[in-house]
Structure 1
Amino acid sequence: MKLVEINDHLTVAPQPELDAFSEFARKGFVTIINARPDGEDAVQPGNTAESAEAGTAGLDYAFVPVTLAGVTEADIRAFQTALAGASGPVLAHCKSGARALTLYVLGEVLDGRMARDAVAGFGKRHGFDLSGALRWLECNEAATPRVKGFYDARTGSIQYVVTDPATKACAIIDPLLDFDEKSGAIATAHADAILDYVQREGLTVEWILDTHPHADHFSAAQYLKGKTGAPTAIGANIGKVQGLWKDIYNWPDLAVDGSQWDRLFANGDVFKIGSLEASVMSSPGHTLASVTYLIGDAAFIHDTIFMPDSGTARADFPGGSAIALWNSIQKILALPDETRLFTGHDYQPNGRNARWESTVGEQKRANPHLAGMTEERFVSLRDTRDRTLPMPKLILHALQVNVNGGRLPEPEDNGRRYLKFPLDALGGAAW
């Protein structure tokens, strides 16, 4: 097997046999990065076997599986993180080594350490055709809007900053407020990371958008409105969700008209982010109030469809419906195949890196909940699976904040804020 040394820290290689891992350790490598998805051919060892063999050999291991057609910035950054976190030389592989080198080169170009016109020659000197990297860069530059995802490993949630490159106006979608249920502590680290990015890039925040009232994290909409002055918005059916949770919390003073937000979007509503036209598509199923934001060639699909290897969102929350979810998904899949889809959560199946961007075409081909699926089978699959899922650990904490527009409870006479936690409020618990 030919090892190609790129620099003192990185070597790329074709698919290694498992018995080579101990030899890699003897040669001084400390980390293996596997950039090859499972199932590409019948004889590859696969992620689980490679991870186990790396551990036996005393090597660290990272799984960043990509296809050349499906590389996203999240993959590039995950590769960089694995490379930067290694305490010594790294061996990265795919089937031939080309995808591993592509991830490295794209990171170098994005961060300004390599000129775009140097990519082809760099690849040729090392024996690789990097034309795929050049095509990715061309597509990335042409994509509108620009989308920056911020991943929270604690909750598996993704926040987005969506920017019109022509005007540097942006929208923030689904921002989260940090909450530790063990101590009751509130923090703003993830929201502040968004503000830092906005300032660094010279952006103007024009909207703070929620796709739905979240069940697994607190919304930072009010915090960010206070920092930016931007209006907040959510789907017009939020009042129906508020009505459900008003009863669950026995909360007579909760307004159930959506007045906690500055604007309520109905299906088909249009708004602007700088010079970009954005529209709203009602997408109930996960919740009654769920919406999809269509902005340029991108759709922000929240908890409706996950990444292709992760299926679809649950539909068993109060007001949820697997039939409604199926119908919402069909509207999303009717968009052009090249439409970029940005999901609301990723739980890193099989230990891969966190990912949040796919396309309509990828979902149709590769999502087992969608490819070749009928409505009847989908509803049966979704209902059966949902009965086995425990409720999100923060659902009863988060909804009393999120149906109130991201506002924390008012301080009581001792100056402290208190969350109300109803017992036995959600039936059919999966222990």
Structure 2
Amino acid sequence: MHIIRINDRLSVSAQPDPASFATFATQGYKALINVRPDGEEPGQPGNAAEQAAASASGLSYSFIPVAGSRITEADIAAFQDAFGSAKGPVLAHCKSGARALTLYVLGEVREGRMQRDEVEVLGRNHGFDLSAAVRWLDADAARVPKVKAWFDVRTSSVQYIVIDPASKHCVIIDPVLDFDEKSGATGTMNADAILAYVAAEGLTVAWILDTHPHADHFSAAQYLKGKTGAPTATSDHVTDVQALWKDIYNEPEIATDGSQWDRLFADGETFKVGSIEGRVLLSPGHTLSSITYLVGDAAFIHDTMFMPDGGTARADFPGGSAKVLWGSIQQILALPDETRLFTGHDYQPGGRHPRWESTVAEQRRINLHVAGTDEAGFVAQREARDLTLSMPKLLLHALQVNIRGGRLPARENDGRRYLKFPLDALEGSTSDFRGQGLGGL
């Protein structure tokens, strides 16, 4: 195997034998980055074997599997993070070394350390054709709208700013208010990072949008409204969710008219992001009020579908339906093939890095739960899988905040806020006790 030295910090190579990793360590390498998806070819060692060999050799290890034709911003950022955090020289590999070098140069150009015109020259100097990297950069520069994402590790949630570069207007989608269920502490680190980006880029926030009342994190919509003055919005079917959960929480004082938001969107309604028109697509099934925001060629599909290797959302929450979810998925997959799809969560199957962007064509072709099946098959598979899933750990915390549009409960006479938990209210949730040694409790 031939190792190609790019600079003092980076070398790239074709597929190495894990038995060689100890030798790499003696040669001074400190980190190994594997950018090959498992199963690309017979006999490939794979992520688990490489990770074990790297650990045994004292090398840090990162798994950033990408196909050359489907590189996204998340992949580039993951490579840059792994490369930048390494404690010394890095060996990055794929099948030939080309993808590893492509991820590196794309990150260098995006960070301003390399110019577009230098990319192909660098490739030729080391025996690689990097014309595809240049095409990626040109296509990325032409994309409208621009999309900036933040991944919240604690909740595996993805938050977005969607930008019209012509007017510098933007919308914020599904922002996270930090919450620690063990201590009861709340915080605004995620939301403040979004605000810092808005300020640094000179953006004007036109809307703060929720795709649905989330069951796994608190919404930061109200906090961001207070900081920006931008209106908040969600689906007009949020009233159905409010009515359902109001009864579950036994809180008759909760208004169920959606007045906690400034605007309730009906299916098919439009809104503006500067010069770009946005459109609302009702996408129920995961919840009664889930919607997709379609802005230019970008669709924000919340939890209807995850990345193709993650499949689709569960449909067993109160008000959920696998059959309805299938219909929503088909509406999304009827969009043009090249439509960019941005998901609301990523649970990093196989231990890979976080990813959140795909296309309609990609989802239709390889989604784990959708490709090659029909409605009956999907519903049977989805319902069977949902029976094996535990309830989200923040479900009862989050819904009482999020059906209020992200407002925390009012302070009581001691100045503190309190959450309320209904006991034994969710059918089937006692299955979470299995294997936890709770006996007859």
Which TM-score applies when normalising by structure 1?
0.99
Cα distance, 1:41 vs. partner?
A: 0.4
Report the alpha carbon displacement of residue 52 of structure 1 after superposing the two structures with TM. Answer: 1.0
* 1:388-427 to 2 correspondences below 5 Å: 388-427=388-427
1:12 corresponds in structure 2 to: 12
Q: What is residue 377 of structure 1 aligned with on the other side?
A: 377
Aligned residue in 2 for 1:297: 297
Deviation at 1:63, TM superposition (A): 0.4
Q: Which residue of 1 aligns with 2:207?
A: 207
Matched residue, 2:152: 152
| 1:72-115 superposed Cα distances (whole Å, 9 cap, x missing partner) | 11111100110111111110000000000000000110011111
Q: Which residue type is aligned with residue 182 of structure 1?
A: K
* Cα deviation, residue 199, structure 1: 0.5
In structure 2, C-alpha distance between the alignment counterparts of 1:367 and 1:234, rounded to whole Å: 27
Is 1:367 aligned to residue 367 of structure 2? Answer: yes
Partner letter of residue 59 of structure 1?
L
Q: Given residue 324 of structure 2, which amino acid in structure 1 is its aligned partner?
A: A
Amino acid at match of 2:158: I
Structure 2 equivalent of residue 55 of structure 1: 55
Q: 1:201 and 1:101 mapped to 2: Cα distance?
A: 29
Question: What is the Cα deviation at residue 46 of structure 1?
Answer: 0.7
Match of 1:327 in 2: 327
Partner of 1:265: 265
Give me the whole-angstrom Cα distance separating, in 2, the residues matched to 1:257 and 1:324: 23
Q: Secondary structure at the match of 2:381?
A: helix
> Is 1:99 equivalent to 2:99 in the alignment?
yes
- The AA in structure 1 aligned to 2:383 is D
Supply the AA of the counterpart residue of 2:55.
G
Deviations 1:338-371 (A, max 9, x none): 1000000001111111000000111111112111
Counterpart-to-counterpart distance in 2, 1:323 and 1:143: 34
User: 2:318 is matched by which residue type in structure 1?
Assistant: P
What per-residue deviation string (whole Å, max 9, x for no partner) do you get for residues 144-171 of structure 1? 1000010001100000000001100000
Indicate the RMSD between aligned Cα atoms, in angstroms.
Answer: 0.6
User: What residue in structure 2 maps to residue 163 of structure 1?
Assistant: 163
What's the CA shift for 1:68? Answer: 1.3
Residue 34 of structure 1, CA deviation: 0.2
User: Secondary structure of 1:155's match?
Assistant: coil
1:36 aligns with 2:36: yes
The alignment status of 1:45 with 2:45, answered yes or no, reads yes
Distance 1:205 1:157 in 2: 21
Alpha-carbon offset, residue 19 of structure 1:
1.2
CA distance in 2, matches of 1:47, 1:282: 39
The separation in 2 between residues aligned to 1:359 and 1:165, in whole angstroms, is 22
Tell me, in whole angstroms, the C-alpha distance in 2 between the residues paired with 1:418 and 1:335: 43
Q: What's the CA shift for 1:25?
A: 1.1
CA distance in 1 between partners of 2:368 and 2:210 (Å):
28
Post-superposition shift, 1:67?
1.0
**Secondary structure of the equivalent of 1:365?**
helix
How far is 1:55 from its partner? 1.1
SS in structure 1 at match of 2:301: strand
Which whole-Å CA distance do the structure 2 matches of 1:326 and 1:142 have between them? 33
Aligned pairs (5 A) from 1:107-126: 107-126=107-126
Structure 1 stretches of 4+ with a deviation exceeding 6 A read none
How much has 1:30 moved relative to structure 2? 1.2
The alignment partner of 1:91 has SS state of: strand
Amino acid at match of 2:71: V
What amino acid is the match of 2:113?
R
Q: How far apart are the structure 2 equivalents of 1:263 and 1:387? A: 35
Query: Could you tell me how far apart the structure 1 residues matched to 2:364 and 2:151 are?
Result: 25
Quick one: which amino acid aligns to residue 331 of structure 1? Q
How far, CA to CA, are the matches of 2:78 and 2:307 in structure 1?
16
Cα distance, 1:26 vs structure 2: 1.2
Shift of 1:214: 0.1
Secondary structure at 2:345 match in 1? coil
SS state at 1:346 partner: coil
CA distance in 2, matches of 1:407, 1:376: 39
Q: SS where residue 302 of structure 1 aligns?
A: coil
1:187 aligned partner:
187
The 1-side partners of 2:415 and 2:287 are apart by 34
Shift of 1:206: 0.3
Kindly provide the amino acid, as one letter, of the partner of residue 55 in structure 1. Answer: S
Q: Deviations over 1:270-326 (max 9, x none)?
A: 110000000000000000000000000000000000001000000000000000000
Q: Using the alignment, how far apart are the partners of 1:69 and 1:338 within structure 2?
A: 13
What is the TM-score normalised by the length of structure 2?
A: 0.97
Q: What is the aligned-residue identity percentage? A: 67
2:69 and 2:142 map into 1 onto residues whose CA distance is 16
Whole-Å separation in 2 of the counterparts to 1:294 and 1:392: 27
Partner-residue secondary structure (3-state), 1:382: helix
The amino acid that maps onto 2:35 is A
Q: Match for residue 85 of structure 1?
A: 85
Q: Which runs of 5+ in 1 are unaligned?
A: none
Which residue is equivalent to 2:357? 357
Shift, 1:138, TM fit = 1.1
2:436 equivalent in structure 1: none
Q: What amino acid does structure 2 have at the position aligned with 1:313?
A: A
Provide the residue aligned with 1:176 in structure 2: 176
> Which structure 2 residues correspond to residues 300-315 of structure 1 after superposition, within 5 A?
300-315=300-315
Q: Deviations over 1:377-402 (max 9, x none)?
A: 00000000001100000000000000
- The worse-fitting range, judged by mean Cα deviation, of 40-49 and 391-400 is 40-49
In 2: Cα distance, 1:330 partner to 1:102 partner: 34
Q: Where does residue 25 of structure 1 map in the other structure?
A: 25
One-letter identity of the residue aligned with 1:415:
G
User: CA offset at residue 31 of structure 1?
Assistant: 0.8
